[in-house]
Amino acid sequence: MRDPEWFLAKIAAGLAAAGISPEAPSPARKLSRAEIESIVTTTVNEEIARLNAQSLKQSLDQDLTEPSGPARRTRP
């Protein structure tokens, strides 16, 4: 059985071979509830605006391809 240092050295060597720094990333800062709510609200509003724009475009495209009413017959 190998010791933990050997195992860590193998992991570091594998990371280095892959071009990844073997140093541990700094821990992420936890977001406050207000920050999370702000991010979620912004994301939801952007998605609603995107969907509304997409729906409007589809409606306009449909209006342009469909006749606007019954065809009239004209007398010769």
Tell me how far apart the terminal alpha carbons of the chain are, to the nearest angstrom.
100
The whole-number pLDDT of residue 1 equals 64
Task: Convert the pLDDT of each residue in 21-74 to its tens digit.
Answer: 767 666 678 889 999 999 999 999 999 999 999 998 888 887 777 665 565 666
E runs forming strands in the chain: none
Note the pTM of the prediction, 2 decimals: 0.45
Give residues with Cβ within 8 angstroms of 39, minimum separation 6: 31
Q: What are the C-alpha distances in Å from 4 to residues 12, 15, 25, 37?
A: 12, 17, 20, 42
